[in-house]
Structure 1
Amino acid sequence: MSEDGFLLKLRTDLSWDRAALTRLDQAMRAVCEEYEAADQLDRDLAEGFHVLATSVPEWTSHPNFSRPEPESYYTACLERLSLLAYWFFTGGSPYIEGHVWPDL
Structure 2
Amino acid sequence: MTDDLRHEFESAEGSFMLRLRTELRWDKEAFTRLERAMRSACADHEGRDDLPRWVAEGFWEAATFIPEWTAHPNFPRPEPQQYYDNCLERIRDLADWFFRSWHAYQEPHVWREL
- The alignment's TM-score, normalised by the length of structure 2, stands at 0.86
Quote the residue 1:48 is aligned against: 58
Runs of at least 5 residues in structure 1 that lack an aligned partner in the other structure:
none
The one-character-per-residue Cα deviations of 1:67-102 (angstroms, maximum 9, x if unpaired) are 000000000000000000000000001212211111
CA shift, 1:64, in A, is: 3.6
For the residue of structure 2 that corresponds to 1:30, the secondary structure is helix
Runs of at least 5 residues in structure 2 that lack an aligned partner in the other structure:
none
Large movers: runs of 4+ above 3 Å = none
Match of residue 90, structure 1, among 74, 77, 100:
100
Q: Tell me the distance in 2 between the aligned counterparts of 1:63 and 1:70.
A: 14
Structure with more relative contact order (C-alpha pairs < 8 Å, separation 6 or more)? 1
Is 1:67 aligned with 2:74?
Answer: no
**Conservation of the 8 A alpha-carbon contact between 1:6 and 1:17:** yes
Identity between Structure 1 and Structure 2 (%): 53
Quote the residue 2:28 is aligned against: 18
- The alignment's TM-score, normalised by the length of structure 1, stands at 0.94
